[in-house]
């Protein structure tokens, strides 16, 4: 699964990597959790890319309130084309979720120990995502929301969890994912996972367990393994 991510690159780097003409203002995030807002990139329908903040936890148009998103921050790639919460967005509203890394936890001695996963050199990449428009029935305000696709974990992560986020680590994979929402006749299956060995990982502070904790210290490696165990 994917329940915590980072986005620490500058606005200039994000705009360059994802070919954006305009970037909204944003602060670096080192411990971003579901129900919070993160940046998504999607097609405007005319071949241009748009970047905007969105609520993490997909809200289908028939959701009664934002609490629905508490259970839709991830979507299983094997069933995303069939599930009522996701199938319309899968056909029409795909997005990229820019990130520099994510956390997964190891359960040991009754405690949860966080590990940080990232592409070599903490390279900027994207998760495969879906986005939706939802109108708050009380305020009539339109809300953008998103979910991140997951798939069975590969060897990089399987010792910690049986699921992992679907990572699009190259411009080619990112463009192919977005292009799938432009088709009208056929719907491509979700992309395959990246090859094992793409991700590096190291243990980080237990402070990461609290979603309100932010700052560069979240992604600093522990001084030594004994600090973890």
Structure confidence by residue, pLDDT tens digits, 126-166: 999 999 999 988 888 999 999 999 999 999 898 999 999 99
Mean pLDDT, rounded, for 58-70: 94
Count of structural domains within the chain: 1
Please say if the pLDDT value at position 193 is more than 80. no
Q: Is 52 designated active site? A: no
Please say if the pLDDT value at position 84 is more than 60. yes
Mean pLDDT, rounded, for 22-47: 93
Q: Is 87 exposed, middle or buried (0-12, 13-18, 19+ CB in 10 A)?
A: middle
The per-residue pLDDT for 184 is 58
| pTM of the complete model | 0.93
Better-scored residue on pLDDT, 187 or 55: 55
Chain Cα centroid distance, residue 19: 19
pLDDT band at residue 186 using 50, 70 and 90 as cut-offs: low
pLDDT band at residue 229 using 50, 70 and 90 as cut-offs: very low
Residue located via tokens 């940080």:
116
Question: Could you read off the pLDDT of 99-110 as tens digits, one per residue?
Answer: 999 999 999 888
Residues of 207-229 as b/e, b for ≥16 C-beta within 10 angstroms?
ebeeeeeeeeebbeebeeeeebe
The per-residue pLDDT for 228 is 42
pLDDT band at residue 72 using 50, 70 and 90 as cut-offs: very high
User: What is the CATH number for 197?
Assistant: 3.90.1680.10
Q: Domain range for residue 50?
A: 5-228
3-state secondary structure 109-125: CCEEEEEEEEEHHHCCE
Residues of 131-157 as b/e, b for ≥16 C-beta within 10 angstroms?
bbebeeeeeeeebbbbbbbbbebbebb
pLDDT band at residue 183 using 50, 70 and 90 as cut-offs: low
Which of the following is catalytic: 12, 52, 104, 158?
A: 104
Which of the following is catalytic: 2, 95, 132, 218?
A: 2
Please say if the pLDDT value at position 185 is more than 60. no
Please say if the pLDDT value at position 227 is more than 50. no
The beta strand positions in the chain, using DSSP E, are 5-7, 29-32, 37-43, 49-56, 74-76, 94-99, 101-108, 111-119, 125-135, 142-152, 163-165, 167-168, 199-203
Mean pLDDT, rounded, for 166-170: 94
Mean pLDDT, rounded, for 37-51: 91
Q: Is 2 designated active site? A: yes
Please say if the pLDDT value at position 224 is more than 60. no
Summary mean pLDDT of the chain: 91
């Amino acid at each position: 699964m994917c329940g915590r991510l980072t986005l620490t690159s500058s606005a200039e780097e994000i705009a360059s990597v994802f070919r954006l003409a305009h970037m909204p203002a944003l602060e670096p995030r080192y411990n971003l959790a579901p129900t919070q807002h993160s940046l998504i990139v999607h097609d405007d329908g005319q071949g241009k890319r748009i970047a905007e903040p969105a609520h993490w936890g997909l809200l289908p148009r028939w959701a009664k309130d934002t609490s629905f998103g508490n259970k839709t921050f991830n979507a299983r790639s094997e069933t995303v084309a069939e599930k009522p919460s996701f199938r319309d967005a899968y056909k029409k509203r795909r997005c990229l979720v820019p990130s520099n890394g994510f956390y997964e936890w190891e359960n040991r001695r009754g405690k949860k120990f966080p590990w940080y996963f990232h592409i070599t050199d903490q390279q900027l990449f994207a998760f495969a995502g879906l986005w939706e428009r939802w109108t708050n029935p009380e305020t009539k305000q339109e809300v953008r929301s998103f979910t991140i696709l997951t798939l069975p974990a590969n060897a990089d992560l399987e010792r910690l969890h049986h699921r992992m986020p679907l990572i699009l680590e190259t411009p080619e994979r990112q463009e192919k994912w977005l292009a799938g929402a432009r088709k009208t006749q056929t719907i491509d299956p979700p992309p395959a996972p990246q090859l094992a060995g793409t991700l590096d990982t190291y243990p980080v502070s237990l402070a990461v367990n609290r979603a309100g904790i932010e700052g560069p210290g979240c992604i600093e490696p522990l001084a030594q393994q004994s600090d973890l165990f």
